[in-house]
């Protein structure tokens, strides 16, 4: 009996075991997933919780029913991976062997890594995050009680999960404050370590102009060194004061990755960016947010990369060369407020460009342009996530990015 062990039952881990359970012979393969938590969270829904647009029940489900029959679930915390012995040690002393290992434990916000963020007495009082379930719920009453002052949306450093989510929060906060008649009493600031609103020029220009149109002040190239009372202090000693801070703390991979000698300085697993095979060991893959590939840490990346990985794994396990090549394909809906959103679609080599998606000239979605249909697409994705994506059912979208329907703006030709 051959053993496939997956660490983490989040988005990538759940898709992997559900897809491969259908493809691997049950008489020859045992599939096990190790997961400490009992609940699976729809993380894109965290954005909507502080504004009351989603209820907590809409973004959480129990883990076990989401896993296919025939997948063994082991409850426990991972202490370390021992590659030489092909086994994973759990914190309670148990040992789980494997022939092939998939690391899919993602990244988590680490407010403890920024002096003054967690230890300055302001956490969950004036300083909040929305990248966790508890954080998003705690922010909801704080936002409801906020009736004026300086609201700062802040990114500590990149990479982060869903890099457009802080922008979305700023746009939604602007719209929410306008609806409540408070916008004139609030100075809204977007503090980012990037030189602009986004990492790619076309999207950065568009999103930056949207921030300007909404009167949202951008503090760019702002790399925070510490939080001093109610001010963010950068390494170049700039100060950004706040009355309410909505921050994205440093995102890091799991600590066991470092203890196992498999990670970089952020506990991300270095992998081949096309096959997702760990550079340190040809029996280990890292999927979803857990690896160091140079693209967005987004659910779409997990989805598209798992599509490529599934066929590759069958070839690899059979001793054949892997023929699939992941191209870094990502697409993200960007909520912009007032019932509209943008859509961006890109990969390792091609930045987000204007056009239509997925059908050229038809869409229905509009690329790098605000449209109501994009907003409805983002809301509809929650149903797709629970009922199609996680179960590993086929989605009629190509895993690789296509240039069909896209056009290069004249200034970029």
CATH code (residue 184): 3.50.50.60
* pLDDT for the residue numbered 204: 84
| Residues 148 and 36 reside in one and the same domain | no
Could you tell me if residue 240 is inside a domain? yes
Distance, in Å, from the CA atom of 75 to the CA atom of 239, rounded to the nearest integer, reads 45
Q: Report which of residues 61 and 409 the model is more confident about.
A: 61
Q: Are residues 118 and 89 in the same domain?
A: no
The answer for residues whose C-beta is within 8 angstroms of residue 162's C-beta and 6 or more apart is: 43, 44, 296, 297, 298, 299, 332
In a domain, 325, yes or no: no
103: exposed, middle or buried (Cβ count in 10 Å: 0-12, 13-18, 19+) = buried
Q: Are residues 224 and 132 in the same domain?
A: yes
Give dist(CA 48, CA 390) in Å, integer: 21
Are 140 and 201 part of one and the same domain? yes
pLDDT of residue 116: 97
Token match 């259908």: residue? 22
Neighbour order of strands in the sheet with 355-359: 330-337, 340-346, 363-367, 355-359
Q: Report, as an integer, the average pLDDT of 288-297.
A: 95
Q: Give me the pLDDT at residue 199, please.
A: 75
Does residue 62 sit in the same domain as residue 180?
no
Residues 6+ apart with CB under 8 A from 75: 35, 36, 38
Task: Assess if residue 324 is contained within a domain.
Answer: no
Residue 286 near residue 280, CB atoms below 8 Å: no
Ranges 28-37, 161-170, 201-210, 357-366: which has the least confidence:
201-210
In DSSP terms, which residues pair with 26 in a beta bridge? none
CA angle (297, 303, 309) in 5-degree steps? 105
Which helix (H) or strand (E) covers residue 372, if one does?
helix 372-384
Asked which of 228, 251, 274 is the last residue of a domain, the reply is 251
List, for residues 55-75, the tens digit of each pLDDT value: 999 999 999 999 999 999 999
305 inside domain? yes
Is residue 263 located within the same domain as residue 245?
no
Q: Does a structural domain hold residue 291? A: yes
In the block, which residue shows the tokens 């081949």? 272
Total domain count, the chain: 3
Q: Does 272 lie in the same domain as 171?
A: no
Write down the pLDDT at residue 81. 98
Mean pLDDT of 135-162: 96
Structure tokens at 341: 């959103």
pLDDT of residue 62: 98
Give the residue numbers spanning the domain of 69.
2-106+254-317
Q: Is residue 323 part of a domain?
A: no
**Mean pLDDT rounded to a whole number for the chain:** 95
Same domain, yes or no: 121 and 72: no
Most distant CA atoms of the chain, gap in Å: 66
Same domain, 46 and 160: no
pLDDT at 411: 60
Q: Does residue 280 fall inside a structural domain?
A: yes
Identify the pLDDT of residue 307: 96
Residues above pLDDT 70, as percent of the chain: 99
- 272 shares its domain with 179: no
Residue 30 reports pLDDT greater than 70: yes
For residues 47 and 174, state if they share a domain. Answer: no
| Tokens matching residue 291 | 């690896």
DSSP string, 98-113: -SEEEE---EEE-GGG
Of 293, 317, 341, at which residue does a domain stop?
A: 317
Answer positive or negative: Cα dihedral of 55, 197, 401, 357: positive
Of the candidates 317, 340, 369, which is a domain's last residue?
317
Report pLDDT for 313: 98
User: Element (H or E) spanning 258, and its range?
Assistant: helix 255-259
Q: Please give the full DSSP string across 272-289, using - where no structure is assigned.
A: -TTT-BBTT-TTEEE-GG
Confidence of residue 200 (pLDDT cuts 50, 70, 90): confident
| Residue 194 forms part of a structural domain | yes
Shared domain for 139 and 101, answered yes or no, is: no
Q: Which residue has the tokens 């129990």?
A: 62
At residue 202, the pLDDT reads 84
């Amino acid at each position: 009996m051959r053993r496939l062990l997956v660490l983490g039952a989040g988005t990538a881990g759940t898709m992997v075991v559900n897809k491969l359970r259908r493809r691997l012979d049950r008489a020859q393969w045992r599939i096990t997933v190790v997961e400490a938590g009992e609940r699976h969270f729809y993380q894109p829904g965290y954005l909507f919780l502080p504004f009351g647009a989603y209820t907590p029940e809409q973004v959480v489900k129990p883990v076990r029913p989401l896993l296919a029959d025939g997948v063994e679930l082991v409850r426990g915390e991972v202490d370390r991976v021992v590659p030489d012995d092909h086994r994973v040690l759990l914190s309670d002393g148990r040992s789980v062997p494997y022939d092939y290992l998939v690391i899919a434990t993602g990244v988590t916000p680490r407010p403890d890594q920024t002096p003054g963020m967690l230890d300055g007495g302001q956490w969950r009082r004036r300083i909040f995050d929305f990248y966790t379930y508890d954080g998003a719920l705690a922010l909801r009453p704080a936002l409801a009680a906020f009736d004026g002052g300086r609201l700062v949306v802040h990114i500590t450093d990149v990479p982060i999960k869903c890099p457009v989510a802080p922008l979305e929060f700023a746009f939604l906060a602007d719209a929410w404050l306008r609806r409540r008649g408070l916008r004139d009493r609030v100075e809204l600031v977007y503090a980012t370590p990037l030189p602009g609103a986004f990492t790619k020029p076309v999207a950065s220009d568009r999103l930056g102009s949207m921030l300007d149109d909404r009167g949202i002040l951008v503090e760019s190239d702002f790399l925070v060194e510490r939080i001093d009372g109610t001010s963010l202090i950068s390494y170049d000693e700039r100060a950004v004061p706040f009355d309410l801070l909505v921050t994205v703390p440093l995102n890091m991979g799991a600590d066991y990755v470092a203890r196992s000698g498999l990670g970089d300085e952020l506990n991300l697993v270095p992998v081949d960016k096309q096959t997702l095979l760990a550079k340190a060991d040809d029996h280990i893959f890292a999927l979803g947010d857990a690896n160091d590939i140079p693209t967005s840490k987004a659910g779409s990346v997990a989805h598209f990369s798992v599509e490529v990985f599934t066929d590759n794994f069958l070839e690899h396990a059979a001793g054949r060369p892997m023929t699939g090549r992941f191209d870094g394909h990502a697409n993200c809906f960007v909520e912009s407020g007032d019932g509209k959103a943008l859509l961006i679609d890109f990969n390792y080599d091609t930045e987000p460009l204007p056009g239509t998606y997925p059908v050229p000239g038809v869409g229905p979605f509009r690329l790098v342009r605000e449209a109501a249909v994009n907003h409805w697409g983002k809301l509809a994705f929650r149903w797709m996530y629970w009922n199609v994506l996680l179960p590993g059912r086929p989605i009629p979208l190509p895993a690789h990015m296509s240039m069909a329907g896209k056009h290069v703006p004249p200034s970029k030709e």
